[in-house]
Amino acid sequence: MSANSPSPATQRPQTIAVIGLGSIGGVAAGCLAAAGRHRVIACVRRPIEKLVLDQPGGTVELKLTAVTDAAEVEEPADWVLLCTKTHQTQSAAPWLARLCAPETRVAVLQNGIGHVERVAPLADGAKVVPIIVYYNGERLAPDRVRLRQGSDQDMAVADDADGRAFARLFAGTALRVQLCADFATLIWRKLLINAVANPITALTLQRQAVLRRADIEDLCLAILAEAVAVGRAEGVRLADDEPQRALATLFTFSGELGTSMYFDRLAGRQLEVDALNGAIVAAGARHGIATPLNRALLVLLRAVSDAAASGG
């Protein structure tokens, strides 16, 4: 069910720090700042005075409080939104050390699975809240992001006290939050989508329209069949037609949309393939399940990522 129903007027203003002002973090920070209910702090590498948010309802220019050095943080935040790529999590450690206290909640807006295991050791006792992100964000410039919405909901979270508290933050904003009783299944379904859309767009350097090719569709179904077998071995309730469902979901999105990995490759950045196909391959190895197609994607994209890291 959707959680954007609480009255914004009844909410206590809170301090929300956003680590990583890329496509996902920039949109989240922009939507929260546009609502004007909470104090939003952007934790960034370079100074920024404003943020321009292109959203379905129009373009808004927002003043933004930005901090470029974790040492400048004076007190813990109520919420921290961790919006870096998964392989950049360790680099956020100085920010988390200054922003977190036992009363802080850290919402992890990252791809893949294992959010709590990845972030909790860095969060100084704060509660880690995994978030599934569906909205399509695109960073147009250091101070400009675009929001595109391609499904009924923009984010999903477990239907518990922490999840409901997260949903209340975004009540009345452009971002819609879904509360989910079976979060484990939902996060694997998102992993399935990412495990084909991100690698295929990054390797072909084409946007999501490439997924509609008949030969690419057949390849995606085979990749997804491996992943579904692994997910079931992990105890996740995935249907027999889960690969077809994942592609059907992808086909509801505009072919003009890119993926985070596609944009990262265009920009010459490292790729977070280990959090996607790498997670599937690792889980398959634990259960003795062969994943040759996912492993092939992992090897190819690691080579691309390593070249980006070395400036090649």
Which residues participate in catalysis according to the annotation? 190
Closest CA to 195 of 109, 304, 63, 294: 294
Contact 116, 52 (CB under 8 A): no
Q: Is 143 left (phi over 0), alpha (psi -120 to 50) or beta?
A: alpha
CA atoms within 13 A on the CB side of 124: 17
Inter-axis angle of helices 277-287 and 183-204, to 10 degrees? 120
Two structure tokens written together for 142: 């250091």
Cross-strand bridge partners of residue 81: 18, 107
Beta pairing, strands 39-43 & 50-55: unpaired
Please calculate the CA angle 75-23-212 and round it to the nearest 5 degrees: 150
**What's the longest Cα–Cα distance across the chain?**
55
Closest CA to 81 of 173, 218, 213: 173
Which residue matches tokens 């992100």? 133
Phi, psi at 254, each rounded to 5°: -65, 140
